[in-house]
């Protein structure tokens, strides 16, 4: 006990010293060339030392706590939730309440709020889509925003050239997203893990650069403006159109949850999971990796394409800047934070990732920093996310064995 305390103390002190040494040139020395003066800010050194020491100490404390056996109660809250959800009556009441809340929502808050929540819902769709690729298929995809862009530009360009309507663009965007997913899937079939991550990241950037530079076709950085909002019989006022889009988003979220839940508990869903767990064993059990990887990409990209069309209709203006790496990372964070493979987890994650920066404007400058921290911390302390996936429990009819 005591020995381990001193050991921790030593490592922590060493960490602090290292940090002080490394940051010495930037934190302590300040050269003022005009006055040809060098000022030494020794206090900064002290702060770096104290800061690193305490952070390192907290880190170690958390690690030791994690190792001590938090394993036992991990996911217990989730199980209680699952139990409640399992009761048909409770579920019906909850669903009805939720539906009423969704219908009422635009009438009790202002336009701005409706817009924010709509973005949140859009991210839920994106998160659920990426969750198929990462959570089920186990393919670390960092260029997901490319599919999102595909859907958005699909609508924008088809509107620009052919006057395409929203309701036609919605399925077309989703399908073209899926096709694009397959197209991108082919070259990366043999890649896994870090390699796949790097290549898909590059794909995401290539897509953005193409949109930026094919300016004759896509209008480049200037973007495409005045994309029509979704129309309902007649053109709607801004207020109406915003509410309408909110409802559409809510319905699409419900739709995606429905579809993805069914896929999850099916032959296809199981095959994807097996592929995530162990490619070699999956192949040896008769699973066609090529086919299933392409299916994974297509299913994932489908939802991104859908969300893209909604984005175009919501903002009425898109440019390549809406589809940067930051977007891909945000969706990834939503999935990792909420819980890979867990539908309720991803929904919560997507809402957190979009709504926190919106409601705490002061924080939004530090978004990338926070996302980075989340991506490092989560896998260590809560690898299965805030709401971990609950495995399906099969009840089996008791067949008489004695016969």
Partner 1 sequence: MSDTILDIRNFSMIFGGLHAVNCVNIHIDKCEIVALIGPNGAGKTTLFNCITGLYTPTEGDITVYNSNKKTVRINGLNPNKITELGLARTFQNIRLFNSMTALENVMIGCHTRLKAGILGAILRDGKTRAEEQGVIDTSMGILKKLKLERYANETASNLPYGPQRLLEIARAMATEPQLLLLDEPAAGMNLAETKRLDYIISKIRDEEQITILLIEHDMNLVMSIAERIYVLDYGELIAEGTPAEIKANPAVIKAYLGE
Which residue's structure tokens are 């008769």? 286
In the complex with partner 1, which residue's Cβ is closer, 120 or 385? Answer: 385
Helix (H), strand (E) at residue 398: none
* Minimal distance, residue 289 CB to partner 1, in Å: 7
Q: Which tokens is 345 given? A: 């987890």
Half-sphere exposure (CA, 13 Å, Cβ side) for 148?
32
Q: Is 336 in the site for partner 1 (CB under 8 A)?
A: no
Alpha carbons 170 and 134: distance in angstroms, whole number: 24
In the complex with partner 1, which residue's Cβ is closer, 114 or 260? Answer: 260
Alpha carbons 248 and 266: distance in angstroms, whole number: 27
186-223 residues labelled b (16+ CB within 10 A) or e (exposed): eebeebeeeebbebbbebbbebbeebbeeeeebbeeeb
E strands present in 84-234:
none
Instruction: Tell how far CA 256 is from the center of its chain.
Output: 15
In the complex with partner 1, which residue's Cβ is closer, 216 or 400? Answer: 400
In the complex with partner 1, which residue's Cβ is closer, 51 or 383? Answer: 383
Q: Is 393 in the site for partner 1 (CB under 8 A)?
A: yes
Q: Which of residues 257-296 bind partner 1 (CB under 8 A)?
A: 259, 262-263, 266-271, 273-274, 277-278, 280-289, 295
Q: Is 367 in the site for partner 1 (CB under 8 A)?
A: no
In the complex with partner 1, which residue's Cβ is closer, 41 or 262? Answer: 262
Binding segment toward partner 1, per CB under 8 A, in 15-23, 105-113, 213-221, 394-402 = 394-402
Q: Which of residues 222-251 bind partner 1 (CB under 8 A)?
A: none
Helix (H), strand (E) at residue 139: none
Helix (H), strand (E) at residue 153: helix 144-162
Q: Is 396 in the site for partner 1 (CB under 8 A)?
A: yes
Binding segment toward partner 1, per CB under 8 A, in 25-33, 102-110, 219-227, 256-264 = 256-264
Contact footprint for partner 1 (CB under 8 A): 259, 262-263, 266-271, 273-274, 277-278, 280-289, 295, 299, 391-394, 396, 399, 401
């Amino acid at each position: 006990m005591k020995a381990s305390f001193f050991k921790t103390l030593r490592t922590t002190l060493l960490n602090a010293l290292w940090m002080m040494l490394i940051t010495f040139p930037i934190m302590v020395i300040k050269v003022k060339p005009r006055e040809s003066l060098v000022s030494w800010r020794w206090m900064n050194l002290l702060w770096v030392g104290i800061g690193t020491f305490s952070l390192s100490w907290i880190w170690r404390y958390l690690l030791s706590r994690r190792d001590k056996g938090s394993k036992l109660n991990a996911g217990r809250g989730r199980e209680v939730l699952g139990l409640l959800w399992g009761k048909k009556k409770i579920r019906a009441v909850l669903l009805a309440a939720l539906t009423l809340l969704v219908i009422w929502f635009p009438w009790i808050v202002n336009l701005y709020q409706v817009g924010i929540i709509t973005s949140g819902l859009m991210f839920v769709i994106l998160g659920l889509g990426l969750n198929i690729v990462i959570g089920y298929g186990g393919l670390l995809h960092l260029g997901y925003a490319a599919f999102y862009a595909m859907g958005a530009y699909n609508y924008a360009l088809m509107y620009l050239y052919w006057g395409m309507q929203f309701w036609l663009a919605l399925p077309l965007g989703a399908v073209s997203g899926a096709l694009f997913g397959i197209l991108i899937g082919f070259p990366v079939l043999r890649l896994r893990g870090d390699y796949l991550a790097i290549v898909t990241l590059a794909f995401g950037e290539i897509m953005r650069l193409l949109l930026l530079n094919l300016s004759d076709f896509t209008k480049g950085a200037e973007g495409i403006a005045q994309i029509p909002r979704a129309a309902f019989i007649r053109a709607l006022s801004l207020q109406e159109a915003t509410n309408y889009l909110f409802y559409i988003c809510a319905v699409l979220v419900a739709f995606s949850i429905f579809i993805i839940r069914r896929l999850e508990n099916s032959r296809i869903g199981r095959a994807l999971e097996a592929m995530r767990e162990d490619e070699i064993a999956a192949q040896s059990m008769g699973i066609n990796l090529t086919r299933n990887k392409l299916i994974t990409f297509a299913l994932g990209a489908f939802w991104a394409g859908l969300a893209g069309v909604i984005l175009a209709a919501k903002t009425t203006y898109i440019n390549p800047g809406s589809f940067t790496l930051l977007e891909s990372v945000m969706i990834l964070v939503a999935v990792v934070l909420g819980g890979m493979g867990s539908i309720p987890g991803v929904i919560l994650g997507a809402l957190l990732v979009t709504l926190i920066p919106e409601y705490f404007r002061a924080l939004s400058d530090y978004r990338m920093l926070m996302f980075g921290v989340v991506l490092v911390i989560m896998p260590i302390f809560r690898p299965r996310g805030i709401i971990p996936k609950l495995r399906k429990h099969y009840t089996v009819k008791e067949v008489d064995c004695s016969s």
